[in-house]
């Protein structure tokens, strides 16, 4: 999932209406949220992933794994990371995430076990 999608999750969960409010709630610079939003920084760094996890009440390792998967180029590595994140059940809550994971699994032959 892209960093902007995680920011959107925070905004939805916290009832925030602006990126500025999301930045303030996360304790990060508004310009960083802008970089996430416009794709200049497509993935969360590990420290921001921890802040997002705390804001969402989710396991930080799952968000860190998801963002690592976004950064890799190898379909096999991406599938393995997404499968590990899915097993932590974070991505089960994200619309279309299961379909994305399943497509990588089909492409790489990785076996998926449900949450």
Residue 25 has pLDDT above 60, yes or no: yes
Full-model pTM: 0.73
The span from the CA of 81 to the CA of 72, in Å, is: 9
Mean pLDDT of the chain: 85
Residue 108 has pLDDT above 60, yes or no: yes
Locate 4 and state its tokens: 């902007």
Portion of the chain with pLDDT greater than 70, in percent: 79
pLDDT digits (tens, 9 = 90+) for 44-98: 999 999 999 999 988 888 889 889 989 999 989 988 888 887 777 655 556 566 6
- The torsion region of residue 109 among left (phi > 0), alpha (psi -120 to 50) and beta comes to left
Per-residue CA distances from 86 to 13, 19, 62, 80 (Å): 20, 27, 8, 10
19-37 in b/e burial notation, b at 16+ Cβ within 10 A?
A: bebbbeebebeeebbeebb
The span from the CA of 18 to the CA of 32, in Å, is: 14
């Amino acid at each position: 999932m892209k960093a902007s999608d995680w920011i959107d999750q925070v905004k939805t969960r916290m009832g925030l209406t602006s990126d500025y409010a999301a930045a303030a709630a996360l304790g990060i610079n508004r310009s960083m949220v802008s970089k996430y939003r416009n794709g200049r920084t497509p993935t969360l760094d590990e420290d921001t992933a921890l802040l997002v996890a705390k804001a969402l009440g989710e396991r930080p390792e799952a968000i860190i794994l998801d963002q690592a998967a976004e950064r890799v180029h190898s379909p096999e590595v991406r599938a393995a990371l997404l499968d590990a994140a899915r097993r932590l059940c974070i991505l089960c809550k994200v619309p279309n995430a299961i379909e994305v994971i399943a497509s990588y699994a089909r492409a790489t032959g990785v076996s998926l076990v449900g949450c």
